[in-house]
Chain A
């Protein structure tokens, strides 16, 4: 009976969760606001400005966006990035799933292999880029060429690098998914006389759809956002030098294009780069969400 008479303040102090929640949530919320929300909105504002330093930004309307759409290099890097993202997405996921599948078959030494495959993921992108450029050139110089001389070498070089780096990471996610496939379903399939392939496609894959959702999402966004490896491996080389002196950086991806634009010495270039970054965000977020919606539908409920 007594508890009903308590004032709201007393109740507040009695309930430890309410009393302390802000202490524990506050720092995270503050960090999120300072580190993400505020810069994000400021970035959108800056994309409509001409600025060198953020505090001296002058509002200029849509001129930065018109400049972006007139920029041939941005269009080129968009298509190049899209191609790269799709190819790397497919290759990384297929290979990662294959490796994960093989390593959940109870082979001897599976744990050692898992560790070894995961390790490349622990090395930073810049370092990887330089190491791989040496490896590729060590081979290509035998044929009197270099990764910096042919667009196709740059493209496939980056694909190989990314596969090498990402497969181990995706593999861990797939292994977790594969281990969660219910044993009784697999057993039932076996008793019903399903072949190995049938079991794989009709039972295993539908059950690991959540992992596939996550991994395709990561693969797609990683592909689009790629920067360090691109910078260190080719930095956009080789360039096509057109007759009028303009250049197309054939292996420059979106993020690197934005970075290079930002540090150009025209007074409008930081604003144009900012506008590119906003478009880039909309693009990556839109594609990511569309892909999530698409693969979510294919997940099965247990």
Chain B
């Protein structure tokens, strides 16, 4: 009896090993090339998987899509790039990424996908002029507004043309919140799922105006002047002090700002164009206004437009795989059906043959631009050692939220301005 059991166990072991071996062989399609897309946007995953399947059915080219969990992209990329079957298509989204990964990216100048672009405004180059990655969508952020609630409170959108106008409306709504049944701003939680709206996005207003004074940045500056910190403070204070949630309750989060806006509990919501699909169902008139913060001439401000979604092709992949990858990219942005689905999910594709945008917030961004307003580009993308830099800023903002003293604001300023120089040093040593 024992012998039979031992024999069975041994057989199970052998077969399970054999089973492991078999799978690999099935995947091999040496001549055609295959695509492995390491996707950066969790919300795109479902669409990407479906498109990959369609593409394989149509052309027979194997496409594998893996999506990194939110906030773990750089870890996933580091691990995946080390494998023998590394991603052929991945994302290099900002200057720090270019620094880390440029050696692994194919120069995309002169490729078929470059020819499809309708702007090079979202492309990333390294210092030698190599086209490291190209934008596949762009986004905008600012303050999402529910005009119905503004009107219900007896105001009109026309009153909000600069910081003073925004402040007057927001403070009035907050003061009468009990009577109106809704408040001005939705909660600005400082936990990991929400703090980037402030340390990544709202902080951009400071960087942008500094960058504009300097005549534009082409690489990460070694230090900041902090000339517009007061403007950042204006808007930040307005946001935390006229909100559904007391500033002292923001540190560990747990409030659902999106839901507060959707259910009409708050008139303002600091976020970006990717929220359009989520909020437009409940708030069909939702629109987006610029970060008004008290800078002279801001009546002519537009939205913050840019992207961290830039495709790079793996330079170490086989030529067949590179070709298959580029073909797949071209298909994604030009095939009517595929590009339509991409637009539905991403809002807009900066490519000649892609359908027009369906996103109301991006339409608002285009309207501002058409009206001659300046676009606030994403200077945020230059943040050095971005995770550490933002973590310090979050810690300082937490202390400030708990006690809005001048000393605590000085900490925020130190983390914001001096922290930049420190992290720049660290990243470039």
Contact = CB atoms under 8 A, between A and B. Distances in A.
Given A20-B6, A133-B252, A236-B391, A263 B75 contact: yes
Contact of A239 (B6, B396, B428): B396
Most A CB within 10 A of own CB, among B13, B103, B395, B429: B395
Given A149-B402, A245-B419, A265 B395 contact: no
B427 interface: yes
A27 B12 CA distance: 13
Contact of A148 (B252, B417, B426): B252
A148 B420 contact: no
Interface in B387-427: 387-388, 391-392, 394-396, 398-399, 402, 411, 414-415, 417-422, 426-427
A245 B396 contact: no
Interface stretch (A2-10, A48-56, A169-177, A211-219): A48-56
A52 B81 CA distance: 10
A140 to B, nearest CB: 9
B248 A264 contact: no
Contact of A245 (B99, B104, B386, B418): B418
Interface in A36-94: 52-56
Contact of B427 (A56, A144, A264): A264
B252 A245 contact: no
B387 A141 contact: no
B249 A134 contact: no
A246 interface: yes
Contacts of B74: 263
B307 to A, nearest CB: 19
Nearest to B403: A144
Given A141-B248, A149-B398, A245-B419, A264 B385 contact: yes
A237 interface: yes
B384 interface: yes
Given A239-B396, A245-B420, A266 B429 contact: yes
Interface of B: 6, 10, 13, 74-75, 78, 81-82, 96, 99-101, 103-104, 192, 248-249, 251-252, 254, 384-388, 391-392, 394-396, 398-399, 402, 411, 414-415, 417-422, 426-429
The A interface, classified by DSSP as helix, strand, loop or mixed, is: loop
A148 B427 contact: no
Given A134-B252, A137-B254, 11 more contacts: A20-B6, A134-B254, A145-B402, A146-B252, A148-B398, A239-B391, A241-B392, A246-B422, A247-B392, A264-B427, A267-B100
A264 B426 contact: yes
Interface residues of A, number: 38
Contact of A238 (B103, B399, B429): B399
A268 interface: yes
Interface of A: 20, 23, 27, 52-56, 133-134, 137, 141, 144-149, 235-239, 241-247, 249, 260, 263-268
A146 B414 contact: no
26 contacts: A20-B6, A23-B13, A52-B78, A52-B100, A53-B81, A56-B103, A134-B254, A145-B248, A148-B395, A235-B192, A237-B395, A238-B395, A238-B398, A239-B391, A239-B395, A241-B414, A242-B414, A244-B422, A245-B418, A245-B421, A247-B392, A247-B422, A249-B391, A263-B75, A265-B100, A266-B385
B427 A265 contact: yes
Most B CB within 10 A of own CB, among A239, A243, A244: A239
Most B CB within 10 A of own CB, among A137, A149, A264, A265: A265
B386 to A, nearest CB: 7
B418 A23 contact: no
Contacts of B104: 53
The B interface, classified by DSSP as helix, strand, loop or mixed, is: helix
Nearest to A263: B74
A43 to B, nearest CB: 14
A266 B396 CA distance: 23
A245 to B, nearest CB: 3
Given A149-B399, A265-B427, A260 B252 contact: no
A235 to B, nearest CB: 7
B233 to A, nearest CB: 16
A25 to B, nearest CB: 12
Given A27-B13, A146-B252, A263 B415 contact: no
Contacts of A133: 252
Contacts of A244: 418, 422
Contacts of B251: 137, 146-149
A146 B398 contact: yes
B99 A241 contact: no
B126 to A, nearest CB: 14
A244 B192 CA distance: 25
A241 B252 contact: no
A23 B14 CA distance: 10
Contacts of B394: 237
Nearest to A243: B414
B298 to A, nearest CB: 28
Contact of B415 (A52, A241, A260): A241
Contacts of A264: 385, 387-388, 426-427
A150 B306 CA distance: 37
A20 B414 CA distance: 67
A179 B236 CA distance: 62
Most B CB within 10 A of own CB, among A145, A147, A245, A263: A245
